[in-house]
């Protein structure tokens, strides 16, 4: 029986972009039996809806498995890779450099006490 489709599910094109960024399984261990696309779909459902892990719909992989991957990938920087890759592709489609090329610092913030921190704003500069 096919799983119900959710608005947060990855499209085939999105999965094609993200799949190579997922770390491979450890060598010598038991091969994964869970579909990594379904793990991603469950994680995105959780992130988008804000539901608790134990309230993930039952047609996703087991919540303990989903949370385990989420936690492991967070420690490995996988989410940053996802964001940088997707953000770069969006910027490229908009005709911009894949990385921001200008940095503006608010002079009022720079002159304040260090305890308050500095506010930085990334902007794009057309060449």
How many residues would you count in the chain? 127
- Residues with Cβ within 8 Å of 54's Cβ and at least 6 positions away in sequence, in order, are 63
pTM: 0.69
- Looking at residue 107, its pLDDT comes to 63
Weakly modelled stretches of the chain, pLDDT under 50: 127
Q: For residue 78, what are the contacts with CB-CB under 8 A and spacing of at least 6?
A: 21, 22, 23
| Assigned token pair, 72 | 């492991």
Give exposure, 20-34, as e/b (b: 16+ Cβ within 10 Å).
eebeeeeeeeeeeee
Checking phi first, is residue 95 left (phi over 0); if not, alpha (psi -120 to 50) or beta?
A: left
pLDDT number for residue 112 = 53
Domain residue limits, the chain: 36-96
pLDDT reported for residue 49: 94
């Amino acid at each position: 029986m096919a799983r119900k489709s959710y608005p947060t599910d990855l499209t085939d094109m999105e999965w094609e972009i993200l799949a190579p960024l997922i770390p491979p399984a450890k060598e010598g261990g038991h091969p994964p039996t869970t579909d990594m696309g379904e793990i991603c779909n469950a994680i995105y459902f959780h992130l988008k809806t804000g539901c608790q892990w134990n309230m993930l719909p039952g047609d996703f992989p087991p919540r303990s498995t989903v949370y385990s991957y989420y936690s492991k990938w967070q420690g490995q920087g996988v989410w940053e890779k996802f964001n940088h890759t997707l953000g770069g592709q969006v910027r490229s489609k908009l005709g911009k450099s894949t990385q921001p090329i200008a940095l503006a610092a608010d002079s009022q913030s720079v002159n304040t006490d260090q305890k308050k921190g500095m506010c930085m704003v990334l902007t794009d500069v057309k060449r």
